[in-house]
Amino acid sequence: MRIDITEIAGINGAYIGVEENVPSREIIAVKSDVQLGESIHVDLKIEYFEGMIIVTGVVSGEYHAVCGRCLADIDEKFNIDFRENFMHASEMTDESDDYYKYEGGHIELAAPLIDNILLDLPSVMLCSGDCKGLCSSCGRNLNDGECSCDHSDHGINLQMEKLKDFFD
């Protein structure tokens, strides 16, 4: 997503507003287990201030994922407060890690959008906070009911099995 900033560059306090639906194919998601919806809605204020471009606003959309415990489909929405700073490439230094760079009369928002979306999503997707997952023996979804497997010795490391009787 490329934004033309020529009309605000060099004028302290000048800003432009951008509100549009960006096709998610323009924002390549790098997390393989998450698929973004058809489009991402951006409502941004892009302001020039003392050599920097400050982008603030809200980014929202939908995503599809799979539960990390029971493999159920998850369709959720996200709504992110967005704030990123851009510095002209000629002014970047080794200490400019907190800034995105821009060159010429435009800024590229794809990378900051991806970063913010991925940082906002949970690291492990769950269908619900109390998801019971799958049975490690038979594979049944335990959210649908208990299975008939014997779980009395479930998860005991065979090398440590003798210690099991120590605490009885």
CA atoms of 112 and 82, how far apart (whole Å): 9
Distance from the Cα of residue 128 to its chain's centroid: 18
Q: Can you tell me the mean pLDDT for 46-65?
A: 92
First to last CA, the chain: 63
Nearest to 117 by CA among 44, 57, 29: 29
Q: Can you tell me the mean pLDDT for 45-72?
A: 92
- Write down the pLDDT at residue 32: 66
Higher pLDDT, 157 or 19: 19
- Write down the pLDDT at residue 158: 67
CA atoms of 136 and 148, how far apart (whole Å): 12
pLDDT band (50, 70, 90) for residue 131: very high
pLDDT band (50, 70, 90) for residue 42: very high
Q: Answer yes or no: is pLDDT of 30 > 60.
A: no
- Write down the pLDDT at residue 157: 66
* Average pLDDT for the chain: 85
Q: Answer yes or no: is pLDDT of 132 > 90.
A: yes
Q: Which amino acid is at 92?
A: M
Handedness of CA 82, 87, 92, 96 (dihedral sign): negative
CA atoms of 162 and 151, how far apart (whole Å): 18
- Write down the pLDDT at residue 29: 57
Query: What's the DSSP call for residue 85?
Result: E
CA atoms of 92 and 94, how far apart (whole Å): 7
